[in-house]
Amino acid sequence: MNNIRPTVAIADNHSLMRSTLTEFLLSHGYSVIIQAGNGQHLLEQLSYATRLPDLCLLDIDMPIMDGYETAQHLRKHHPSIKILATSVFYNEVKKEKMLRCGVNSFISKSSNPEEWEKILHELCPV
Domain residue limits, the chain: 7-123
**Domain range 7-123, its CATH number among 1.10.3720.10, 3.40.50.300, 3.40.220.10, 3.40.50.2300:** 3.40.50.2300
Q: Residue 108: which H helix or E strand, with range?
A: strand 105-108
What does the pLDDT look like over 62-114, one tens digit per residue? Answer: 999 999 999 999 999 999 999 999 988 778 888 889 999 999 999 999 999 99
Span 3-52, pLDDT tens digits: 689 999 999 999 999 999 999 999 999 999 999 999 999 999 999 999 99
Is residue 58 within 8 Å of 71, Cβ to Cβ? Answer: yes
Percent helix / strand / coil, the chain, rounded to 5: 40, 20, 35
Cβ(18)–Cβ(35) below 8 Å: yes
